[in-house]
Amino acid sequence: MISMSRYISIVSGVGGGNVVAQRQLIMRVVTQNSVLPPNLVAQFANSDSVGAYFGTGSEEYKRALAYFAFVSKNITSPQLISFVRWVSTAIAPMIVGDTIAKQLAAFAAVTVGTLTINNGATPIQVSAIDLSTATTLTQVATLLQAALRATADPQLTTCTVTYNTNTNQFVLTGSTPGSGSLSSTPSGLSTDISAILGWTTGGTILVSGQAADTPDVAISKSASISDNFGSFVYATPSTPFQNSDIEAIAAWVDGQNNKFMYSLATSLANLQTLFALIKGFSGVVLNVLSTTQQNDYVEQSPCEILAATNYQRPAASQNYMYYQFPNRNITVSDDPTANLADAARGNYVGVTQSAGQQQAFYQRGVMCGGATAATDINVFANEMWLKSSFSAQLLSLFLNVPEVPADDTGAAMILGVMTPTIATAKTNGVITVGKPLSATQQQFITSITGDSTAWRQVQTIGYWLSITFEQVTNENSGLPEWVANYVLVYSKSDAIRSVSGSDVMI
């Protein structure tokens, strides 16, 4: 997948019918569950479908239950969730059949079936397959496995064939982890069973053998397949993450420049050590996990808020603090612990009281970024949406017009497609109008824009925008080409976290 940054690079701190889809800021779960084949993204619209695929006893289903049950203060909920496979140990090549419902009668009628399995480019002919004694589809898989192993082909001698009752898939896994490929070819003979197995149909998935990936490589590969997500978490790994693993993931997220949010949970005892490692990496949310209570997937909290945020609605911008999660564990209940967690930028479900009634809510909605990065989750999330919207609109422009000239006309065209997003941003709260600017902020705006009056525009209408053109040399081809550079300075939405007052009695 060619990175969109080759065409549109945004750095943070019936005619016209080609409309580029804007990213949906949903949550992605990176899982080691072997039910999900590698190198694809599985997307679901409700927890029932997640349960049907992974099983209702799976962690994936339990995470989906919590995720889809979330309701925001604007009465919106997440609409989609996606899952990707992390290949944490080397895998052999696979044929993953389609998900069409399989009928036992069709297999029980097979007494002299045939099948062509390709080990790479070498076809292996399998004949006289007898499935007539099978009383379940699982037994069909067992009988077929025996027939394939009897071929003595190196990739099939210890192969396995399984049937997934949740997904209706027959899966062939080869003998040699780490390399190789398997496929099936229909012969056209009436005895050929490749189609009823789902191994030569439109829904067939072929998985090449591959070595193990580190967790940071897993999410990087996932984003290359599809970047249609805003936040991501990892399902509980079979071997607990080391802090060095988290550091590597955090470094990858930081390099994506305000495109994705990585949320994770760690114990209070590990929080300070971990924060010292990843402080300065943008896009990372640390959450305090209870070590004595059942896992409540607290790291999903900001992901659920983000996925439920509808930026097309007025006042959509969210304060990630003060959200209540009744089914999540209280991990901080006193000031000393809160001070400790706050100092290490840990987010947690903390409890206070009003009129003797306990009130527990998510605190404090912060991230690990450095001085020039967004450290409030709401600011980071808002910029994520803004960049995504600009990218989609600008690519749509390129696809729908003969050319965008490097002159005033081109600048007007770019401004024309950016303006609707800016207007929406002023309505949904991403851009704030009328916010007072400090002298330091005024001077910074002047220095970055070269316009001594730009700060007044930012304060008055919420933003300042400039579009210029320059000729550069493409670092890959060595050829000259023109690029448009825009600078957008906008007044971000700042959410308050506390109120300090004076009660004056006369």
Same domain, 63 and 109: no
Q: Identify the CA nearest to 229 among candidates 40, 60, 20, 80.
A: 80
Same domain, 100 and 140: yes
Residue 56 lies in a domain: yes
Q: Identify the CA nearest to 79 among candidates 304, 256, 318.
A: 304
Interatomic CA distance for residues 38 and 205, integer angstroms: 10
Residue 9 lies in a domain: no
- Which spans in 376-407 are helix H? 377-400
Distance of CA 218 to the CA centre of its chain: 11
Q: Pick from 192, 207, 222: which residue ends a domain?
A: 207
What end-to-end distance do the CA atoms of the chain give, in Å?
70
pLDDT score, position 17? 55
pTM of the predicted model, to two decimals?
0.91
Q: Pick from 138, 172, 207: which residue ends a domain?
A: 207
Same domain, 358 and 451: no
Tell the burial category of 458 from Cβ atoms under 10 Å away from its Cβ (0-12, 13-18, 19+): buried
What domain range includes position 263? 22-84+214-363
Same domain, 438 and 453: yes
Q: Identify the CA nearest to 31 among candidates 90, 87, 88, 85.
A: 85
Residue 381 lies in a domain: no
Given a contact cutoff of 8 angstroms between Cβ atoms, the answer to whether 457 and 437 are in contact is no
Given a contact cutoff of 8 angstroms between Cβ atoms, the answer to whether 260 and 228 are in contact is no
Given a contact cutoff of 8 angstroms between Cβ atoms, the answer to whether 246 and 274 are in contact is yes
Residue 373 lies in a domain: no
Q: How many domains does the chain have?
A: 3
Same domain, 266 and 143: no
pLDDT score, position 230? 98
- Which spans in 352-436 are helix H? 377-400, 408-428
Residue 15 lies in a domain: no
Same domain, 254 and 281: yes
Residue 279 lies in a domain: yes
- Mean per-residue pLDDT pooled into runs of 10, the chain (506 residues): 52 57 95 92 94 94 98 95 96 95 96 97 96 97 97 96 93 96 95 97 94 97 96 97 98 97 98 97 97 96 98 95 94 95 97 81 95 94 97 95 96 97 97 94 95 96 96 94 96 89 90
Residue 5 lies in a domain: no
Same domain, 282 and 339: yes
pLDDT score, position 7? 45
8-state DSSP, 4: G
Given a contact cutoff of 8 angstroms between Cβ atoms, the answer to whether 78 and 27 are in contact is yes
Same domain, 308 and 445: no
Given a contact cutoff of 8 angstroms between Cβ atoms, the answer to whether 144 and 83 are in contact is no
Radius of gyration for the chain, computed over Cα atoms and rounded to the nearest angstrom: 27
Q: Pick from 207, 231, 259: which residue ends a domain?
A: 207
8-state DSSP, 91: B
Same domain, 295 and 350: yes
Residue 31 lies in a domain: yes
Same domain, 348 and 448: no
Same domain, 197 and 105: yes
User: Which amino acid, 377?
Assistant: I
Same domain, 192 and 269: no
pLDDT score, position 506? 87
